[in-house]
């Protein structure tokens, strides 16, 4: 295994581990010692070669397909998660209610359910965007463009929606 490939593989392993909110020590604890922190760390740094068998076992432990761990197989995949969808609530308040009423009510409902009243921004999931698209009778990508034009979503949201629609 080339040094560069090992580093790329390690970066994918690290990305999956951190996405799951696990430290190296957390992996060791969760696996009840099956995966030693020092070994997983050496895989992630590319200092130690991982066998196909061990890679398959590690993928199983993380609950991901092996191909998610392989460099070059998932463009923009695990090493770079898509940007979050973040609504600018201050800008949303300036959009006329006849246009943004359904979105304003939806956002208020999410805030109420989460007890999140900071009033500035609100993260939403892809599922929320799909639900809003149904409410607005548009595709998620068309609705995303509309929300960007209102200044409610950042232009990076295009990438998040495109990444999700490809899946």
**C-alpha to C-alpha distance for 61 and 78, rounded to whole angstroms:** 16
Residue 48: inside a domain, yes or no?
A: yes
- Of the three residues 69, 97, 125, the one that is the final residue of a domain is 69
Residue 151: inside a domain, yes or no?
A: yes
**C-alpha to C-alpha distance for 34 and 114, rounded to whole angstroms:** 37
Same domain, 100 and 57: no
Distances 165 to 68, 140, 145 between C-alpha atoms, Å: 18, 9, 14
How does pLDDT run across 68-113, given as a tens digit for each residue?
A: 888 875 444 444 555 678 999 999 999 999 999 999 999 999 888 8
Same domain, 147 and 110: yes
Query: Which residues constitute the domain of residue 103?
Result: 85-163
86 strand-pairing partners: 123
Same domain, 58 and 4: yes
Say whether pLDDT at 67 is over 90. Answer: no
Distances 82 to 147, 149, 156 between C-alpha atoms, Å: 18, 20, 9
Same domain, 35 and 99: no
User: How many distinct structural domains can be found in the chain?
Assistant: 2
Higher pLDDT, 82 or 162: 162
**C-alpha to C-alpha distance for 73 and 90, rounded to whole angstroms:** 40
- Where residue 158 sits, what CATH number does that domain have? 1.10.10.1930
Same domain, 113 and 142: yes
- Of the three residues 69, 94, 109, the one that is the final residue of a domain is 69
Give the gyration radius of the chain's Cα atoms: 20
Higher pLDDT, 81 or 9: 9
Residue 22: inside a domain, yes or no?
A: yes
Residue 53: inside a domain, yes or no?
A: yes
Contact 8, 71 (CB under 8 A): yes
How does pLDDT run across 110-156, given as a tens digit for each residue?
A: 888 877 777 788 888 888 899 999 999 999 999 999 999 999 998 88
């Amino acid at each position: 295994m080339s040094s560069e490939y090992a580093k790329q593989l390690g970066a994918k392993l690290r990305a999956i581990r951190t996405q799951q909110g696990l430290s190296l020590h957390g992996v060791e604890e969760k696996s009840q010692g099956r995966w030693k922190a020092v070994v997983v760390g050496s895989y992630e740094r590319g200092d130690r070669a991982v066998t196909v068998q061990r890679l398959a076992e590690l993928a199983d432990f993380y609950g991901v397909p092996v191909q998610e761990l392989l460099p070059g197989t998932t463009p923009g995949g695990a090493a770079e998660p898509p940007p979050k969808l973040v609504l600018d609530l201050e800008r949303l308040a300036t959009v006329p209610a006849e246009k943004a009423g359904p979105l304003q009510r939806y956002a208020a409902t999410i805030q109420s359910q989460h007890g999140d009243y900071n009033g500035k921004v609100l993260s939403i999931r892809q599922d929320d965007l799909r639900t809003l698209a149904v409410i607005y009778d548009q595709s998620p990508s068309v609705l995303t463009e509309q929300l960007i034009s209102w200044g409610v979503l950042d232009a990076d949201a295009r990438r998040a929606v495109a990444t999700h629609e490809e899946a």
